[in-house]
Amino acid sequence: MDESVIIISDATLLPMTVGGNVIESGYVTAIDGVIVEVGAGDPPAMERGLRIDGRGKVLMPGLINAHTHLYQVLLRAVWEDLPFLAWLKRIYGVAEALNPEHVLAGTLLGCLENLKGGVTTVCEHNFLNPGPECAVAAVEAISRSGLRGVFARTIMDTGDIVPDCTRETPETAFARIEELMSRQRLNGSPEESRRLTFRTGPNTPPINASPDLLREIRGFADHHSIGISAHVAESASVVEVTRRQCNRAGVVAHLADFDIPGEDAIFAHSVHVSPEEIVQLADTNTAVSHNPVSNMMLGDGIAPVVEMLAAGVKVGLGSDGAASNHGQDLFETMKAASLLQKVKHQDAGVIDPHQVLRMGTIDGAHALGLGSVCGSVEAGKRADLILVDIQKPHFQPVNDVVSQLVHCAKATDVDTVLVDGKVLMRGRECVWLDEGETLRRAQAARRDLMERMPAA
Ligand SMILES: [Zn+2]
């Protein structure tokens, strides 16, 4: 069958475009990975192509996971009761044992979990590099998974809790990142290269980023026209260190001294940011990834999402790594994002479910610089689409499909996933990645990693 032409018909269509309302019975046609037509009623007759019946399902853009560490699925529920900096030290300590096979197997499983939950784009914030091969393995796994990826290869050049093996001088790190990008350009197929973009960044300033690194990294990013990803103000303890070491009131203020904020930057977490820093984020068009489940799991606090949105900050959603989540479920993330703001403000109407769904789709795409590529269902965009089965006891009957997608839908309701017009899952069956083999490989990698792990 000619699968370069795909027609999905008779679905409840949720385009997530500006002013785009729910279409009760709609269709989408994609040719060579590009959406060519979106409409209501019956699709135009096509002689060739793959037809997918959307009856009983919502057709919507794939979800955007704007911040994660995929290999960390190997570390689910390993350290879940530690204060933030003690937890971080254990995570960094994994570098002493981590090898490329662990990263490859873990990243593949992380991709599989994201994909089965309706995520079509992942931003992999990569920071644990005991050598250059681990990042190579992570890129390879994302390429193989079929997902769209933003690979943010970040740098740690200082810090008491950073093991020597994963600390790099800016020069060494920059050379390794250039090598990684040129390797992908040379080895990847044109389709893979289109699906994968790169970023860099200081990992968790100022805990593991020296002023020298911060001074140089903006120039490096600009020189290569790649964006920046950083962990910013995740816990109060990081802000305390910033005040003590850098004589700045907060992490955003500290980063502004080095011109790190900008429209190509995404700051993960941004839990402890002041009203002045929120204005700085909005003025510089810096994006934020809100990771509510991870923030709750680590006891970090509640990010001022309503305040950031009111100020005009671009906010996407992330799961964060499974070491602090313990999953990769973006439907759960949307529900947590909605409920947490209601709790924080003691106001049930403080955030609108449509806004939350935007954060999980089109706003997340904009936050990663992919707003013209994916995140909504409209002609000209790449066909990154999902079908969500809503004929479920926990979803029926339907009164408000948008609110129910945010508050009732589960990752396991996702029936079909397409990325770049390629069908990766249909009827919950993965037709691209081998699910059984991915699970077995990750289980073996987890056993081996635990055996090699240094004692606390
Ligand atoms: Zn993170």
Cα angle 154, 69, 304 (rounded to 5 degrees) comes to 85
Report residue 320: phi and psi, to 5°.
65, 175
Reported pTM: 0.98
Residue 58 CB neighbours (<10 A): 25
- For domain 63-367, the CATH superfamily is Metal-dependent hydrolases (3.20.20.140)
Instruction: Determine the distance separating the centroid of ligand 1 and the alpha carbon of 267, expressed in angstroms.
Output: 10
- Give the confidence band of 1 by pLDDT, cuts at 50, 70, 90: confident
Instruction: Determine the distance separating the centroid of ligand 1 and the alpha carbon of 112, expressed in angstroms.
Output: 19
- Give the per-residue pLDDT at 382: 98
**Contact, 329 vs 297, CB < 8 A?**
no
Instruction: Determine the distance separating the centroid of ligand 1 and the alpha carbon of 156, expressed in angstroms.
Output: 14
Residue 352 CB neighbours (<10 A): 14
Overall average pLDDT of the 314-327 stretch: 97
User: For the residues of 74-105, what is the DSSP string, one character each?
Assistant: GGTTSS-SS-HHHHHHHHHHGGGT--HHHHHH
Instruction: Determine the distance separating the centroid of ligand 1 and the alpha carbon of 341, expressed in angstroms.
Output: 20
Residue 425 CB neighbours (<10 A): 24
- Give the per-residue pLDDT at 121: 98
Instruction: Determine the distance separating the centroid of ligand 1 and the alpha carbon of 413, expressed in angstroms.
Output: 26
* Phi-psi domain of 415 (left: phi exceeds 0; alpha: psi -120 through 50; beta: other): alpha
- Please check the confidence at residue 202 and state whether its pLDDT lies above 90: yes
Instruction: Determine the distance separating the centroid of ligand 1 and the alpha carbon of 42, expressed in angstroms.
Output: 44
- The identity of residue 193, as a single letter, is S
Instruction: Determine the distance separating the centroid of ligand 1 and the alpha carbon of 219, expressed in angstroms.
Output: 23
Report residue 61: phi and psi, to 5°.
-65, 150
Distance CA 380, CA 300 (A): 40
- Please check the confidence at residue 454 and state whether its pLDDT lies above 80: no
Instruction: Determine the distance separating the centroid of ligand 1 and the alpha carbon of 362, expressed in angstroms.
Output: 21
- Give the per-residue pLDDT at 80: 87
Q: Residue 224 is encoded by which pair of tokens?
A: 């290569």
- Give the per-residue pLDDT at 46: 82
Instruction: Determine the distance separating the centroid of ligand 1 and the alpha carbon of 317, expressed in angstroms.
Output: 12
Instruction: Determine the distance separating the centroid of ligand 1 and the alpha carbon of 148, expressed in angstroms.
Output: 19
Instruction: Determine the distance separating the centroid of ligand 1 and the alpha carbon of 250, expressed in angstroms.
Output: 18
Instruction: Determine the distance separating the centroid of ligand 1 and the alpha carbon of 26, expressed in angstroms.
Output: 38
- Give the per-residue pLDDT at 95: 94
Domain layout of the chain by residue ranges = 5-61+379-430, 63-367
Q: Which of 227, 269, 225, 226 is nearest to 251 (CA)?
A: 269
Instruction: Determine the distance separating the centroid of ligand 1 and the alpha carbon of 24, expressed in angstroms.
Output: 38
Overall average pLDDT of the 66-89 stretch: 94
- Give the per-residue pLDDT at 18: 86
Distance CA 295, CA 301 (A): 6
- Give the confidence band of 215 by pLDDT, cuts at 50, 70, 90: very high
Instruction: Determine the distance separating the centroid of ligand 1 and the alpha carbon of 67, expressed in angstroms.
Output: 6
- CATH code given to domain 5-61+379-430: 2.30.40.10
Overall average pLDDT of the 288-313 stretch: 97
- Please check the confidence at residue 119 and state whether its pLDDT lies above 90: yes
Q: Residue 227 is encoded by which pair of tokens?
A: 């964006």
Distance CA 176, CA 394 (A): 48
